[in-house]
């Protein structure tokens, strides 16, 4: 057990030691790499083989999700047709620790012929890849954390960190915001919070609890039971809200010896709290919390009843 802990700690210490050298290496080439990505009219094409390829896929995904359209291209597949996906408007990131990957020897002349700028992420600063690139990001290490010095460990970590630095620097330069991030992550919790509006998740049609102003408390109670929203809207002329009546209002009425035959217009809360359909769902949640309520009718720009929303609807949509 002690040996296992020792092995793990030694690896982490070695990788952290190598990674700590990276910030000082960022300079003109890093700025140039960012500018190439920011100015491209096409996509960022990332390529690497072996462990570099695995890291490259992550870098491409990070770029794509933070505002820089990108995709990963396997070097071997590139030599058998996939180079056709690269256009003269693109910028290419090639990853090779040695800078001497055989596949790149064939790819680099083609990219040069198309005047496509190349960003190299490499530890071989005098390699063919580095010499052919317009910007070179130095990920060189003194020692791999693997005790045999064979398995890419420190070098893979440096590659990953350099890719993250590139993606996030470009993201910040673009002024990329939470709403932009949510659009590329619509199924995530952030997407649910920032993209969903009240009108997207509210109850509609027959699921809207409402009774006319001529109704009795019994009518309202039956509507409360039918819909399970927690409130009923009292309306005139079909969809103009004049008040609301909640489960809590019903309990308090009965405790005060009110009857189910009472007119709803005499015991309702008028005009009652309402929320606009144009609000973001997260705004509705905040409003519920601020007013200590769990449900509200939803109105359009003309103040007409168009839906109903309760706290459970918000939670089911991944909000809150």
**One pLDDT digit (tens) per residue for the chain, 320 residues:** 789 999 999 999 999 999 999 999 999 999 999 999 999 999 999 999 999 999 999 999 999 988 899 999 999 999 999 999 999 999 999 999 999 999 999 999 999 999 999 999 999 999 999 999 999 999 999 999 888 877 889 999 999 999 999 999 999 999 877 666 656 655 555 555 666 889 988 999 999 999 999 999 999 999 999 999 999 999 998 789 999 999 988 999 989 888 999 999 999 988 889 999 999 888 888 999 999 989 999 999 988 999 999 999 888 888 76
Strands 44-48, 91-95: parallel, antiparallel or unpaired by DSSP?
parallel
Q: Give the helix ranges, DSSP H, for the chain.
A: 2-19, 22-25, 28-39, 51-65, 75-78, 102-113, 128-132, 154-174, 178-183, 189-195, 198-201, 217-227, 247-255, 264-267, 281-291, 311-316
Provide the edge-to-edge strand list for the sheet that holds 210-212. Answer: 210-212, 231-236, 240-246
Q: What are phi and psi of 271, to 5 degrees?
A: -85, -5
CATH 3.40.50.10490 in the chain: give the residue spans.
2-176
CATH architecture assigned to 2-176: 3-Layer(aba) Sandwich (3.40)
Q: What are phi and psi of 116, to 5 degrees?
A: -95, 120
Tell whether domain 198-316 is in CATH 3.40.50.720: no
Measured over the CA atoms of residue 152, residue 153, residue 158 and residue 163, the dihedral's sign is positive
Token pair of 178 as six digits: 């939470």
- pTM equals 0.69
Residue 74 labelled as part of a binding site: yes
Provide the edge-to-edge strand list for the sheet that holds 295-299. Answer: 275-276, 295-299, 305-310
Cα within 13 Å of Cα(160), Cβ side? 14
| CB of 232 closer than 8 Å to CB of 220 | yes
Helix, strand, coil percent values for the chain (each to nearest 5)? 50, 20, 35
CATH 3.10.580.10 in the chain: give the residue spans.
198-316
Token pair of 251 as six digits: 């309990």
């Amino acid at each position: 057990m002690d040996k296992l802990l020792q092995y793990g700690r030694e690896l982490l210490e070695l990788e952290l030691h190598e990674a700590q050298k990276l910030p000082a290496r960022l300079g003109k080439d890093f700025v140039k790499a960012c500018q190439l990505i920011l100015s491209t009219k096409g996509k960022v094409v990332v390529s690497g083989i072996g462990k570099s390829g695995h890291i490259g896929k992550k870098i491409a995904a990070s770029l794509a999700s933070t505002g820089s359209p990108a995709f990963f291209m396997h070097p071997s597949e590139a030599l058998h047709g996939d180079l056709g996906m690269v256009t003269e408007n693109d910028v290419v990131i090639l990853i090779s620790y040695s800078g001497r990957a055989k596949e790149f020897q064939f790819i680099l002349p083609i990219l040069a012929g198309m005047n496509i700028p190349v960003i190299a992420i490499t530890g071989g600063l005098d390699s063919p890849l580095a010499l052919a690139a317009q910007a070179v990001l130095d990920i060189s290490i003194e020692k791999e954390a693997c005790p045999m010095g064979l398995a890419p460990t420190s070098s893979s970590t440096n590659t990953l960190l350099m890719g993250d630095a590139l993606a996030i620097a470009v993201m910040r330069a673009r002024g990329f915001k939470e709403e932009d991030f949510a659009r590329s992550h619509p199924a995530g919790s952030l997407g649910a919070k920032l993209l969903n509006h009240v009108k997207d998740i509210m109850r509609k049609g027959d699921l809207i609890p409402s009774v006319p102003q001529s109704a009795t408390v019994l009518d309202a109670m039956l509507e409360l039971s039918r819909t399970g929203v927690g409130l009923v809207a009292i309306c005139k002329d079909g969809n103009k809200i004049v008040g609301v009546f909640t489960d809590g209002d019903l309990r308090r009425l009965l405790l005060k010896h009110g009857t189910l035959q009472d007119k709803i217009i005499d015991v309702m809360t008028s005009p009652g709290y309402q929320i606009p359909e144009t609000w973001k769902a997260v705004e509705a949640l905040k409003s519920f919390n601020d007013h200590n309520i769990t449900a509200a009718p939803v109105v359009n720009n003309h103040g007409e009843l168009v839906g109903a929303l309760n706290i459970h609807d918000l939670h089911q949509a991944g909000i809150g």
